[in-house]
């Protein structure tokens, strides 16, 4: 059922350690044993903060149940995207904290992702998990860049078209996906390649976000841009010569006909 709650957190009513129930009942029981402290409906995901009961009966799909007298505005169908955001937030926050930063999360209503500001590096990190029209991407990107020096977007599978837009503009775009409790970053280039690296292999510096393979992607974009410009200049010169040809090289007159011998 779409209304069944399949998500929870394991670190308290306002927690961010999100877990999703597997479909298999035995695997759900194992998850319950692994997290003996229990499960909560996270306020950070828009839930009520109440403790949840794991239901994993034979023949039924595992799910979490609120207390009998509990009332919550977050239903099962809305919980997935909200808890998915928590997973990305937790991993991103841990990565930044390990580098000594103190990130600030800013809510962007209806954005389907995260907006993390790192004032010490004059950077904004945007995790976009839902689809985003091209015009909306450009508007938000311009707005963020008026506030900080560096803006880095990370695109989930549903936001691939927005990633295509940035790739065409800047020569590199970053995909993102979960890997266990962490994140993988996909460095995309204009040749269609994607190099996946752990988020922990990347760094945020005063010059912006740095990931293995990003410099090569930008260099490839620059070479292709230079090749296009050179081809355009050659085409322009050829067109100019073709236009000048009739004036600079008038057609030679045909030689006079000689009398036919008798």
Write out pLDDT tens, residues 140-169. 999 999 999 999 999 999 999 999 999 999
Phi, psi angles (nearest 5°) of residue 91: -65, -40
What pTM, to 2 d.p., does this model score?
Answer: 0.79
Residue 43 above 80 pLDDT? yes
Which residues touch 42 (CB under 8 Å, ≥6 apart)? 8, 9, 13, 14, 15, 16, 18, 49, 83, 86
What per-residue confidence (pLDDT) applies to 110? Answer: 67
Domain extent listing, the chain: 7-74, 82-216
Write out pLDDT tens, residues 65-113. 988 877 888 876 678 888 888 889 999 999 999 999 999 988 776 667 8
User: Strand pairing of 150-155 and 173-179?
Assistant: parallel
What per-residue confidence (pLDDT) applies to 259? Answer: 55
Write out pLDDT tens, residues 121-140. 999 999 999 899 999 999 99
Reading the block at residue 9, the tokens are 């957190």
Phi, psi angles (nearest 5°) of residue 160: -60, -35
């Amino acid at each position: 059922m779409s209304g069944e709650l399949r998500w929870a957190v394991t670190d308290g009513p306002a927690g961010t350690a999100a877990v999703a129930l597997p479909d298999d009942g035995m695997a759900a029981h194992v998850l319950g044993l692994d997290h003996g402290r229990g499960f909560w409906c996270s306020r950070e995901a828009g839930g009520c903060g109440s403790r949840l009961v794991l239901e994993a009966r034979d023949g039924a799909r595992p799910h979490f149940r609120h207390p009998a007298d509990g009332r919550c505005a977050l239903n099962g169908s809305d919980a997935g995207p909200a808890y998915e955001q928590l997973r990305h937030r937790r991993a991103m926050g841990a990565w930044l904290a390990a580098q000594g930063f103190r990130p600030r999360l800013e809510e962007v209503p209806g954005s389907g992702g995260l907006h993390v500001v790192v004032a010490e590096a004059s950077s904004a990190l945007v995790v976009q998990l839902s689809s985003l029209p091209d015009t909306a991407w450009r508007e938000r990107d311009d707005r963020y860049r008026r506030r900080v020096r560096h803006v880095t977007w990370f695109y989930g599978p549903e936001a691939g078209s927005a990633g295509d837009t940035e790739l065409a503009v800047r020569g590199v775009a970053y995909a993102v996906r979960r890997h266990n409790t962490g994140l993988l970053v996909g460095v995309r280039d204009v040749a269609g390649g994607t190099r996946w690296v752990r988020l922990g292999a990347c760094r945020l510096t005063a010059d912006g976000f740095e990931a293995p393979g990003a410099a090569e992607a930008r260099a490839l974009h620059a070479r292709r841009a230079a090749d296009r410009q050179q081809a355009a200049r050659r085409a322009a010169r050829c067109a100019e010569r073709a236009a000048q040809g009739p004036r600079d090289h008038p057609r030679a007159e045909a030689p006079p006909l000689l009398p036919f011998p008798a």
